[in-house]
Structure 1
Amino acid sequence: MAKANPEILKWARETAGLSLEEAASKLALGGKRVTGSEMLAAYEAGDRSPTQPQLMKMVKHYHRPFITFFLPTPPRSASLGEDFRRLPEAKRDEHQGSVSALVRDIYLRQSLVKDALIDKEEDVIVDFVGKGQVTSAVDSACRTIRDYFEIDIAAYRRRKGAHEAFKYLREKIEIKGIYVLLIGDLGSNHSSINTEAFRGFALSDPIAPFVVINQNDSKSAWCFTLLHEVVHLWLGKTGISAQTHEHKIERYCNDVASHILISADEVSEVYEAAMQSEETFVIALQRE
C-alpha cells in the first residue's frame, strides 16, 4: 500500500482542531516503549507510517476522506464565507475543527443538490437570494420577507408548540426553493456541536440556497434562527452565525427576524399591558 503523506497527516489533525495528545488518545496510539503522541509525531515527521486501520481511525476523527491522506499537498479548505461570530480565540480554536467539518459536509450536500437540479433541468433561480440591502429599513425588509414566503403570523402563532411553529415556517421557506437542514453533529452523538460554536449557517446560492440550524439549540430558538439565516440569504451573505449584536450584519438580521415574529407596535402593547398587571414583561412577551 502507498504511504500516507506526512504533511497531510499533520494538516488533517490540525484542521480537526486536535493537539498531538488529543489525537493520539482518540486514535488509541502508543505502547510500552513509546507514547501515543510520540508515535503520532513520528508519523507526521515521516519517520514511521500508520497502518491502514490507523488511517481509517484518522478518517473518522479528522473528518477527512481516506484518499485525502495520499494527496501531494493539502487541499484548499472550504470557506466559511463570512464569519459573523464573535467568539474568544480560545473558544474559536476549540470548535474550529468540528465547525469546518460541518461546513464541508454542507457544501458537499449543496453541490450534489445543485448538480442534480442542473442535470434534470430544474435549476430555477431563487430570485429572493441577494436582492436585499442592509440599508433597507427593518419594517420594509419584514414586509418583503413575509410577503415573499406568504407567512401568516396569525397562523404561525396558532401552531401548538415550538416544533409545529418551526414546521410551519420551514414549509413556507422550502416551497420557495430554499433547503433547510437541522444539523447538530458530524454523524453521531459523540460529535455533537454546541451553540457556542454556531447557531446557524447560510449558504447563499441562486440555484440551491441552504440554511443550516444547530438542532442542539432550544426548539423555541429554531424559528428565530431560521428567519435570521433567511435574512442572510436575502442579503446574499454566505456565512456562519452565533447571533450576537456585535456585528453590523448580525444586528440587522436579528432585528429583521425578531420584527417578523413580533412587530414593534405589538411589543409596545405587551409592555403596556404588563406594566398594568403583575405579570413581568419578559413572561408576557414569551406568552405572545
Structure 2
Amino acid sequence: MQSSVNISSEVLDWVIAHAQMNSLSPQIVGYLNLWVSGEKKPTFNQIEKVSKATGIPLGYFFLEHPPKEDLSFVEYRTVDSTELENPSRNLIDVMHDMDQVQEWMHNHLISEGVSPVNYVGIFKEETSYKVFSQKIRDLLGLSVEWYAKSRTAEDSFNIIRAAISNIGTLVMMSGIVGNNTHRPLSIDEFRAFSVIDEYAPLIFINSNDSTNGKLFSLLHEFSHICIGENSLFNDRYSTGKKVRKVETLCNAVAAEVLVPQKFFVREWSAAIQENEQEQAIHVLAHNFKCGATVIARKAYDNGFIEYDLYQKIAKLAVQLYNEKRRRLKERGESGGDYYRTVASRIDRRFFRLLVGSVHEGKTLYSDAFRLTNTNRSTFANLIESVGGGVK
C-alpha cells in the first residue's frame, strides 16, 4: 500500500485554478476533488498522473507556496479575451520551450561575434502600412509580385518562412507540446506568438492552423518584430475589430505583402464582371495563393463588400478547416513521415548552428536533445533526414 503525500493547500488551490478542468478525465477530476475536500490524501503515483494530465510540472506539487510564473506575455494578446487571462499549461510550456531555444541562439550568436539584427523595432504604429509592407519586402528580398512563383499557399508559406529565417528570425512551428501528441495546441487559444530579442527574435506558429492561417500569422508576427513588440496572436476570425491600433497595422501589412493593393483592385475589377461578390473573393484567393479571409478583408477595406459578407467568409473558412481536420482524424490519418514532421517544427538556421556547435563540442548532446525534443537516436536520424543539418 502506498503512503500518502501532503500537498500545501495553497499549491492545491493554484493547481485547480490553472488546470483546464473541462479537458481532464473523470478520474483526474475525482482525484482533485477528493484532495480539495480533504476526504483523501494523494499518493505519489496519483500526483504523477495528475501532473501528466494537467501538464503542471511534478515538482510544483511539492512546493510550500505556489510557483511564480511570468505570464506577462498575455498582455500582448491581439484580442482581449477572458480565456487567456488563465492561459493553458500547453501554451505556458510551449512559451517556456521557446524561451530556451531563444536563449541558446542568443548566447551562441554573441559567442560567435555576430551583430544584432538591424530590423527589430525599426517601425512605429504611426507608419503607413504601404511604406511598412514595402520595407518588409525589401528586408526579405521579395518583389511586389513574389507570390506569382507559388503554386499553392504552402509554397508561399515556405518562401516567406525561409526568407524570415535567413535574415535572423527564428521560425518555430508545432501543433503539440514537445513530442506529446496528447497535448495539442488549441487554435482557439492562439494562432502564433513572437518574442523580441535583438540577436534572435522568434516567431512560433501553431501548426494546427490552416495553411492560409499560418501564412497570414507569419507575416503578422514578423510585422510585430519590426515594431519591436512581443505578440500573442489569438484573433481566430481576423475580425479587425476590438483590437489595438498596432494589431490593425500588422494585419494591414500582412495583407498588403500577400495581396498588393494595386494588383488587388485590378484583379477585383476583372473578377466582379463575371462573378458574384462571394465567388469573386474565392477567385482572387486562388490567384494570390492566399486565404479567402484576406481577400474578403481587402474587399471590405476598399468598400467593395459589406462587413456581413466579410464576417461570413472569415467564419466559413474556420468551419471548413475544422471540418477537414475532423474528417482526417476520423480516417485516422497521421501527419505523414515522422522526421519530416519534426524537421518542419524546427527553424533550419537554428538547427544548422546547433548541430555545428554540437560537433565542435561547444554544446552538449543532452542540451541539443532538450532543445529539439529528440533523443540520441532521433537526433542523429533528424540530421540525416534534413541533409546533414550543417549545409
Normalised-by-shorter TM-score class: 0.7 to 0.9
C-alpha displacement of 1:229: 0.2
Distance 1:80 1:4 in 2: 29
Give the number of the structure with larger relative contact order, counting CA–CA contacts within 8 Å between residues 6 or more apart.
1
Over aligned residues, Cα RMSD in angstroms? 2.8
Unaligned runs of 5+ in 1: 30-35
**Preserved CA contact (<8 Å) 1:17 1:95:** no
Distance 1:96 1:85 in 2: 17
SS of equivalent to 2:176: coil
**Preserved CA contact (<8 Å) 1:156 1:169:** no
1:40 paired residue among 35, 44, 47: 35
**Preserved CA contact (<8 Å) 1:166 1:223:** yes
Distance 2:256 2:145 in 1: 14
- 1:174-214 Cα deviation digits (max 9, x unpaired): 01111111122224333223322111101111122111111
2:169 paired residue among 178, 181, 197: 178
Distance 1:49 1:112 in 2: 41
- 1:120-175 Cα deviation digits (max 9, x unpaired): 33553122111110101111101111111212354443123222221111110001
Is 1:71–2:68 an aligned residue pair? no
Identity level (%): 25
Distance 2:85 2:75 in 1: 17
- 1:17-46 Cα deviation digits (max 9, x unpaired): 337xx65735375xxxxxx3442315xx6x
**Preserved CA contact (<8 Å) 2:74 2:84:** no
Distance 1:58 1:240 in 2: 28
SS of equivalent to 2:21: coil
Distance 2:42 2:143 in 1: 58
1:161 paired residue among 139, 152, 156: 152
TM-score by length of 1: 0.83
**Preserved CA contact (<8 Å) 1:270 1:285:** yes
**Preserved CA contact (<8 Å) 2:193 2:221:** yes
The 1:99/1:259 distance shift into structure 2, 3 A limit, reads same
SS of equivalent to 1:201: strand
Q: How many residues align?
A: 275
C-alpha displacement of 1:267: 1.2
Distance 1:16 1:108 in 2: 23
- 1:281 is matched with 280
Distance 2:143 2:217 in 1: 18
Distance 1:123 1:5 in 2: 47
Distance 1:192 1:116 in 2: 30
**Preserved CA contact (<8 Å) 1:13 1:62:** no
C-alpha displacement of 1:282: 0.1
Distance 1:25 1:206 in 2: 46
The 1:121/1:72 distance shift into structure 2, 3 A limit, reads farther
SS of equivalent to 2:105: helix
Bigger Cα displacement from structure 2, 269-278 vs 80-89: 80-89
SS of equivalent to 2:177: coil
The 1:133/1:111 distance shift into structure 2, 3 A limit, reads same
SS of equivalent to 1:237: coil
2:13 paired residue among 2, 10, 15: 10
Distance 1:142 1:160 in 2: 22
**Preserved CA contact (<8 Å) 2:272 2:280:** yes
Distance 1:124 1:73 in 2: 42
Unaligned runs of 5+ in 2: 288-391
TM-score by length of 2: 0.63
- 1:232 is matched with 224
- 2:127 is matched with 136
Distance 1:109 1:3 in 2: 35
